[in-house]
């Protein structure tokens, strides 16, 4: 399947629109471009020329539906999304890691170190999202940044519709899911904690009776799901399946975390951790798992909606 300049232009002009409207505008824009190219005699360069004359696809898209997306205009939305995502996945973990390292050097208890790290992580995410959004909204509303690229826009700036529509997700799933599965097995088979020659697993070994196999199966299904989404895109069935898989992992995990029965009790005894602190940390992790799962499930439907 080849992507023509027209495909990329239409994608760039309409990608921020809601599903049904987007399909309409896509079809109309395609007709318009193809008619214009044909009127030029259909020369090979005609397509590029026609698109250059049309100009910035975002402006064209806005003209078609007569309004801009809400809080952030279309010009700001994608830069905002890119920067926010980048900051959240890089800066937040780094700062959390630093907090935990400092805590470790100061001789804090393991519970306090982990708790501090998780807390810092959440706090950083909230701050990063809030402040970047604020900066972008101010820029957008004051029009300071409204770039004059109506003049400088060129066809070469078109994004490739296939980029980021799934390959990145697939690679991430292909790396993360097996890694997580390996981690689960490793913590049981050869954990780093040893007492009297016995290795102490991190998670309660009793959980192998049902929970851990269930998680491994869920991970395998998640991987299959990622391949399915990569090949077929985010369809409604894919979003529902995503919801099912998310619940399959989240419900037992959160239940066990709140119940306190996920950590190997022998390990707690070995380190002489304060049970109250352990409980607090597990509760914090449960909240984190809940938030991430809710987002995961919602995100699937959001993507299915966007894909129309």
Partner 1 sequence: MDELTQQHLQELRRGTVVLASLLTLRTPGYGYGLLESLAAAGIAVDGNTLYPLLRRLEKQGLLTSEWNTEDARPRKFYRTSAEGERLIDALLTDWHEIDAALGRLTDGGTR
Interacting residues with partner 1 (CB under 8 A): 27-28, 31-32, 34-36, 39, 54, 60, 63-66
Query: From the CB of 122, what's the least distance to partner 1, in Å?
Result: 45
- Give the C-alpha separation, 199 to 138, whole Å: 56
Q: Would you say 65 or 214 has its CB closer to partner 1?
A: 65
Residue 271: CB atoms within 10 Å: 15
Question: In whole angstroms, how large is the CA radius of gyration of the chain?
Answer: 25
Structure letter (DSSP) for residue 160: P
Yes or no: say if 257 and 207 are a contact pair by the CB < 8 Å rule.
no
The CB-of-186 to partner 1 minimum distance in angstroms stands at 56
- Judge residue 257's burial from the number of C-beta atoms within 10 Å of its C-beta, 0-12 exposed, 13-18 middle, 19 or more buried: buried
Please state the closest distance from residue 31 (CB atom) to partner 1, in A: 5
Residue among 53 and 189 whose Cβ is closer to partner 1: 53
Identity of the residue, 34 or 149, whose beta carbon is nearer to partner 1 in the bound complex: 34
Structure tokens at 140: 């957008």
CB of 32 to partner 1, least distance (A): 6
Question: Which residues lie closer than 8 Å to 272 by C-beta, 6 or more apart?
Answer: none
Q: Using the minimum distance from each CB to partner 1, give the nearer residue, 34 or 68.
A: 34
Distance of CA 301 to the CA centre of its chain: 13
CB of 255 to partner 1, least distance (A): 51
Cα dihedral across residues 158, 163, 164, 165: positive or negative = positive
Q: Which one, 12 or 241, has the nearer CB to partner 1?
A: 12
Q: Which one, 31 or 195, has the nearer CB to partner 1? A: 31
From residue 194, how far is each of 186, 188, 190 by CA, in Å? Answer: 14, 12, 10
Cβ 145 to partner 1 shortest distance, Å: 23
Q: Which two tokens stand for residue 267?
A: 């390990």
């Amino acid at each position: 399947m080849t992507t023509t300049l027209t495909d990329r232009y239409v994608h760039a002009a309409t990608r921020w629109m809601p599903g049904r409207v987007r399909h309409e505008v896509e079809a109309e824009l395609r007709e318009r471009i193809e008619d214009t190219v044909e009127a030029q005699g259909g020369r090979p360069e005609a397509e590029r020329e026609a698109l250059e004359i049309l100009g910035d696809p975002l402006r064209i898209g806005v003209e078609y539906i007569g309004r801009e997306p809400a809080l952030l205009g279309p010009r700001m939305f994608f830069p905002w999304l890119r920067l926010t995502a980048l900051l959240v996945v890089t800066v937040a973990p780094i700062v959390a890691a630093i907090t935990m390292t400092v805590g470790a050097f100061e001789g804090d208890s393991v519970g306090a170190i982990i708790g501090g790290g998780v807390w810092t992580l959440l706090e950083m995410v909230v701050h990063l999202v809030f402040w970047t959004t604020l900066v972008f909204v101010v820029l957008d509303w004051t029009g300071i940044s409204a770039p004059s690229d109506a003049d400088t826009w060129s066809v070469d700036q078109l994004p490739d519709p296939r980029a980021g529509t799934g390959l990145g997700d697939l690679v991430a799933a292909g790396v993360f899911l097996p890694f997580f599965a390996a981690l689960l097995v490793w913590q049981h088979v050869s954990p780093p904690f040893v007492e009297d020659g016995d290795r102490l697993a991190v998670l309660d070994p009793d959980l192998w009776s049902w929970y851990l196999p269930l998680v491994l199966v869920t991970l395998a299904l998640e991987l299959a799901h990622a391949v399915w989404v990569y090949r077929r895109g985010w369809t409604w069935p894919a979003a529902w399946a995503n919801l099912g898989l998310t619940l399959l992992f989240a419900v037992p995990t959160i239940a066990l975390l709140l119940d306190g029965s996920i950590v190997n009790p022998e390990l707690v005894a070995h380190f002489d951790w304060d049970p109250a602190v352990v409980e607090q940390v597990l509760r914090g992790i449960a909240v984190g798992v809940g938030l991430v799962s809710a987002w995961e499930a919602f995100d699937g439907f959001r993507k299915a909606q966007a894909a129309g």
